[in-house]
Amino acid sequence: GSARIGLTGLATMGRNLARNMARHGHAVAVHNRTTARTESLLEEHGDEGADGGRLIGTESLEQLVATVERPRAIVVMVKAGEPTDAVIDELVPLLEEGDVVVDAGNAHPDDTRRREEALREHGLHFVGMGVSGGEVGALEGPSIMVGGSEHAWEQLRPVVTSIAAVVDGTPCCAHVGTDAAGHFVKMVHNGIEYADMQLIAESYDLLRSVAGLEPADIAGVFEEWNGGDLESFLIEMTADVLRHTDAETGKPFVDVVEDAAEQKGTGRWTVQSALDLGVPVTGIAEATFARSLSGHTDQRKAARKTFSTSPEEQRVEVDREAFTDQVRAALYASKVVAYAQGFDQLAAGADQNGWETDLGEVATIWRGGCIIRAQFLDRIREAFSDEPDLTTLLTTPYFAEAVAEGVDAWREVVATAAHAGVPVPAFGSSLSYFDGLRRERLPAALVQGLRDNFGAHTYRRVDREGTFHTSWAGDLAEQEMD
Ligand code: NDP
C-alpha cells in the first residue's frame, strides 16, 4: 500500500473530494465502478497533486484496498441508498480489523446506524461523514461533519482537517459524535437550508407582489442585505439568480423557470426525525410542505380557477422603502427562529442517541464551506460559548434583542401578506412559534380538557402536584340533579 487513503465513487462529489485531498499533499487511491471515470479523472487532473499528493488509479475494489496503507481508510462516495450498501458489502471481505470505511454520501442516519453496527461486528470502523458545499465545496473546501469512533476520527483527522474550508484559521470540520451523528448533523443542516431558502423565497414574493419591485431591483435589495446581519452565501446567491436573465427570451430567469420546487429528501427526513423527537421545527416543516404544495400542479390549477382574483383586488398599498425594511426584519427574525429550532433538534438528537455533540462547534464548522454558511453562525457560536447548555437560542442576549427589535415589522409583514393573499408559511409559522413560546397561557389547557373528556387521558393542575381525571358524565349528572 502506498496511498494514505482510498476513495471509490468518482462522480461529481467523489472526484472533487479526491482532487482536494491530492492538492493537500495526500496520496489518494481512486476507484470507480465504471473505469472510464477513473481514467478521465487521471487524465484531466492527475498532475494536480501538491507536496507529494497524488491520485493513484485502481481498477477494482481489491486493487483499491491493496493500494492503501494499513490501517486503511476507504471513502465511499457513491449514490446514496442501495448502491452504498452494495459497495460496502463488496468492501467488507477485503478489509482487515481496524480499517475504517467512510460513507461521505447523504445517508439517512438510520442507515448509518445500521451500517456502523454491522461493520463493528467485523472489527471495522464505520464513519458516517456529512459533507456540505456541493460540487465547488468538495473541491475547494467543504464543511465536514464526522460521526464515528474516536479511533476512526483520530485516523481521519489529518486528511479531513486539511481538505475542509477554513474560517478565521479554524477548519470547518469536527467529530460530532459516534455512529450516525455526522449524518444526523448533516441532515439537520439540510433542513435548515430548506427553511432558509423558503424564507428568502417568501421575501422575494412579497417584494415583488406587494412592493411591486422587479427581479433586478430585488437583486439589488438582496445585495444590500448581504452587507449587513443577513450576510450569507444563500442571500448572495439570491441576488445572482434574480439578476440573471434568460438568454433565449430576455426575460428574468425566475420567470422562465417552472414554479414547482423539487427535493431529494433531506428536508423530509429532518421533519420526520423532528416528529419522532418531538421537536417543533415549524420553519423546516413549512418549507418542506411549501415545496410539495408547489408541485401539486393539478390542485393549484383547480384552485386558481375556482378562487381567481385579479392582482388589483389584492393590491395593498405600502411604502416601498419602509416595507422592504420590514421584510428584512421579518426575514432576520424568522431566520433566528428556524435556527433555534434546528439547534433544538440537534440537541434532542444528541440527547436521545448519547452523542456528545458540541453545538457551538457545529455552528463553528457551518460558518464556511456549506450551503448555509453565514455571518449569523458566528453569533450562534458565541451564544453557545457563553452558555453551552442554553435552553433556546431565541432568548440569548444577541438574538433576543434582534427579535425584539424586529417583532413589530414581522407582525406587519405577516398581516400585510395575509391581506394581500401572498402565502408566507415560513414567516407566519415562525411568528406563531415565537408567540407560542412567549405566551403566558396557551390553549393547550383546553386541549387537555378535551382529551380528558373523550379519552380519560388525564391532566395536571396548575395548583397542585399529581395527575387528575374528571368524571365528565358524573359531573353532568350532578349538575342536572341541582
Ligand atoms: P451520484 O449520487 O450521482 O452517484 C454516482 C456515483 O455512484 C458514480 O460514481 C457511480 O458509479 C456510483 N454508483 C452508483 N451505483 C453504484 C453501484 N451499484 N455500485 C457501485 N457504484 C455505484 O454522485 P454525486 O457525486 O452527485 O454524489 C455522491 C454522494 O454524495 C451521494 O450520496 C450524494 O447524495 C452526496 N452528496 C452530493 C452532493 C451534490 O451536490 N451532488 C452534495 C453533498 C452530498 P458509475 O460511474 O459506475 O455509475
Q: To test the ligand 1 pocket, which listed residue (32, 58, 79, 186) has its Cβ within 8 A of the most ligand atoms?
A: 79
Q: What is the pLDDT of residue 154?
A: 97
Average the pLDDT over 319-335 and give the result. Answer: 97
* CA-CA-CA-CA dihedral for 432, 437, 438, 441, to nearest 10: 100
Final residue in a domain of this structure, among 136, 152, 179 = 179
**Position 15 confidence tier, pLDDT thresholds 50, 70, 90:** very high
Same structural domain, 431 and 454: no
In three-state secondary structure terms, 102 is: strand
Average the pLDDT over 219-241 and give the result. Answer: 97
Same structural domain, 70 and 116: yes
Residue pLDDT, tens place only, 402-417: 999 999 999 999 999 9
Q: What is the pLDDT of residue 264?
A: 87
| CA 270–ligand 1 middle distance (angstroms) | 21
Number of other CB atoms surrounding residue 414 within 10 Å: 21
Q: Which of 116, 186, 286, 361 is catalytic?
A: 186
Residue pLDDT, tens place only, 425-462: 999 999 999 999 999 999 999 999 999 999 999 999 99
Please give the DSSP secondary-structure letter assigned to residue 251: S
Task: Say which residue the cell 493513484 belongs to.
Answer: 56
Same structural domain, 57 and 109: yes
**Bridge partner residues of 132 (DSSP):** 143
Residues 194, 196, 202, 207, CA torsion sign:
negative
Share of the chain above pLDDT 70, in %: 98
Residue pLDDT, tens place only, 131-178: 999 999 999 999 999 999 999 999 999 999 999 999 999 999 999 999
**Is the pLDDT confidence value at 263 over 90?**
no
Q: 138 CB under 6 A from ligand 1?
A: no
Q: Are 242 and 252 in contact (CB under 8 A)?
A: yes
In three-state secondary structure terms, 245 is: strand
| CA 203–ligand 1 middle distance (angstroms) | 34
Q: What is the pLDDT of residue 436?
A: 98
Q: What is the pLDDT of residue 38?
A: 98
**Position 479 confidence tier, pLDDT thresholds 50, 70, 90:** very low
Q: Are 226 and 246 in contact (CB under 8 A)?
A: no
Would you list the DSSP string of 159-198?
HHHHHS-EETTEESEEEEESTTHHHHHHHHHHHHHHHHHH
**Is the pLDDT confidence value at 52 over 50?**
yes
**Is the pLDDT confidence value at 237 over 80?**
yes
Number of other CB atoms surrounding residue 251 within 10 Å: 11
Q: 32 CB under 6 A from ligand 1?
A: yes
Same structural domain, 143 and 230: no
In three-state secondary structure terms, 219 is: helix
Q: 243 CB under 6 A from ligand 1?
A: no
Question: What is the position in ligand 1's atom list of the atom closest to the CA of 82?
Answer: 18
Question: What is the position in ligand 1's atom list of the atom closest to the CA of 15?
Answer: 25
Q: Which of 155, 7, 6, 21 is nearest to 67 (CA)?
A: 6
CA-nearest residue, atom 6 of ligand 1: 78
Q: 134 CB under 6 A from ligand 1?
A: yes
**Which one is predicted more confidently, 473 or 422?**
422
Same structural domain, 98 and 200: no
Residue pLDDT, tens place only, 66-76: 999 999 999 99
Same structural domain, 233 and 345: yes
Question: What is the position in ligand 1's atom list of the atom closest to the CA of 8?
Answer: 9
Task: Say which residue the cell 433538534 belongs to.
Answer: 345
CA-nearest residue, atom 15 of ligand 1: 83
Collect all residues with Cβ–Cβ distance below 8 Å to 462 and sequence separation of at least 6: none
Q: What is the pLDDT of residue 482?
A: 40
Same structural domain, 117 and 21: yes
**Is the pLDDT confidence value at 217 over 70?**
yes
* CATH code for the domain in which residue 458 is found: 1.20.5.320
Same structural domain, 233 and 352: yes
**Is the pLDDT confidence value at 1 over 80?**
no
| CA 269–ligand 1 middle distance (angstroms) | 19
**Position 312 confidence tier, pLDDT thresholds 50, 70, 90:** low
Would you list the DSSP string of 41-57?
HHHHHTT---TT-EEEE
Number of residues written out for the chain: 482
Q: 64 CB under 6 A from ligand 1?
A: no
- In degrees, rounded to 5, the angle at the alpha carbon of residue 402 between the alpha carbons of residues 397 and 406 is 145
Mean pLDDT of the chain: 95
User: Any catalytic annotation for residue 480?
Assistant: no
Q: What is the pLDDT of residue 313?
A: 63
Same structural domain, 244 and 282: yes
Q: What is the pLDDT of residue 481?
A: 45
**Is the pLDDT confidence value at 480 over 70?**
no
In three-state secondary structure terms, 64 is: helix
Q: 90 CB under 6 A from ligand 1?
A: no
Same structural domain, 288 and 311: yes
Q: What are phi and psi of 402, to 5 degrees?
A: -60, -40
| Whole-structure pTM value | 0.96
Q: Are 234 and 372 in contact (CB under 8 A)?
A: yes
* CATH code for the domain in which residue 64 is found: 3.40.50.720
Same structural domain, 45 and 139: yes
Average the pLDDT over 365-373 and give the result. Answer: 96
In three-state secondary structure terms, 283 is: helix
Give the CA count within 13 Å in the CB-facing half-sphere of 290.
Answer: 24
First to last CA, the chain: 91
Distances (CA, A) of 443 to 303, 436, 449: 32, 10, 10
Share of the chain above pLDDT 90, in %: 94
Same structural domain, 152 and 271: no
Question: What is the position in ligand 1's atom list of the atom closest to the CA of 36?
Answer: 46
* CA-CA-CA-CA dihedral for 69, 72, 77, 79, to nearest 10: 130
Q: 83 CB under 6 A from ligand 1?
A: yes
- Tally of domains in the chain: 3
Final residue in a domain of this structure, among 179, 211, 227 = 179
Q: What is the pLDDT of residue 473?
A: 85
Final residue in a domain of this structure, among 438, 457, 472 = 438
User: Any catalytic annotation for residue 193?
Assistant: yes
**Residue 114, class by beta-carbon neighbours within 10 Å (0-12 exposed, 13-18 middle, 19+ buried)?**
middle
> How many whole angstroms separate alpha carbon 415 and alpha carbon 428?
9
* CATH code for the domain in which residue 401 is found: 1.10.1040.10
Q: Residue 55 belongs to what domain range?
A: 5-179
- Please give the ipTM for the structure prediction: 0.97
